[in-house]
A and B are shown apart, each in its own frame.
Chain A
Amino acid sequence: MDTTADTEKGIAELQKENQQLAEQVRRLVAAENELYRIQSKLDLKLRLYRQLYEVSNQFNATFDLDEVLQIVIQFVLYELNFERCLVLLPTLEGKAFQVQALDGYYTDGEQEALSKFQLSATEPALLPLITKAERIICPANCDQEALRELGHRFHMDEYAILSLGGKGEEPIGLLIAGNSAEMAGNQERVEAEGEAIISLANLANQATTIMKNLRFYQASKRFVPEEFLEFFQKGSIVDIALVIT
Chain B
Amino acid sequence: MSGIVAATVLASTVAAPSALAGGSNVIAVGVLLAEFGMFRQALLRDQVRLYAAQSALISVLAVVVAATRNLPDLYALAALSFALKTVIVPVVLRRMLRGIGAIGGDPRWNDIAGSHALSVAGAVLIAIAVAAFGFFTVAALGLSSPVLPATALSISAAVVLVSFVLMIVRRDVISQAIGLLSLENGVSLTALVVAAGLPLILEVAFLFDLLVAVVVFGLLIRVHHGRAESMSTAELTSLRG
Q: Do A and B bind each other?
A: no
